[in-house]
Amino acid sequence: MSYITILDLADYMHTPWTSLNNLDLAQFACDTASDLIDDFLEHNVLATAVVEKYNGNNNDRFLLTGHPVINVNSIKTYDSSLNPASEADLVEDVDYTVDKNAGIVYCISTWLPLGVNNVVVDYVYGSSIIPNKVKVVAMQLAYRIYDVGMVESESTGSWSAAYVKGGANLTEDETAILADMRR
């Protein structure tokens, strides 16, 4: 999903969207700019639901892969060292708490039992709103891709493809703007 629309790009270019001479190319520029931002950040900015497995290690904390955390739906542990083996659903604010900005789960009343892939976390991370700085960088990059001619296209019969020429990268200033969001 693009962080900006064709309308955002046209507004950034100070032109009516009806004046864009190739809407498919404009959409391609918006999508490509968003993909390049995701590649730099090493994650998608928008909310993403994931289920991840972690190794229990008798520690009192662990780091989730995605952050910032929007919501933890569930954390389940499986302890095969008990006879019979035990499965537990951890309760937020009773068994654990989450530093949502850092993505760290802190155990309050329990330790993570030893095991491989025996801690399962179902959670959502990212943002439900695209941060303004992401939109600004996406517009700058999409403008360069669209207006400076960084796109090549090929077609044969009914087949066609578009791709970005070399040089469609974030500038040093743009990477500085986004640096605090990078993993």
- Dump pLDDT digits (tens) for 41-65: 988 888 889 999 999 888 889 999 9
Main-chain dihedrals φ then ψ at residue 63, nearest 5 degrees: -100, 125
Percent of all residues in the chain with a pLDDT value above 90, rounded to a whole number: 52
**Token digits of residue 17:** 């969207």
Which one is predicted more confidently, 182 or 92? 92
pLDDT at 159 over 70: no
pLDDT at 162 over 80: no
**Token digits of residue 9:** 């790009």
* Sheet with strand 61-63: strands edge to edge: 61-63, 104-107, 96-99
> Measured between alpha carbons, how far is 183 from 172 in angstroms, rounded to an integer?
17
Instruction: Give this prediction's pTM.
Output: 0.63
Q: How confident is the model at residue 79 (pLDDT cuts 50, 70, 90)?
A: confident
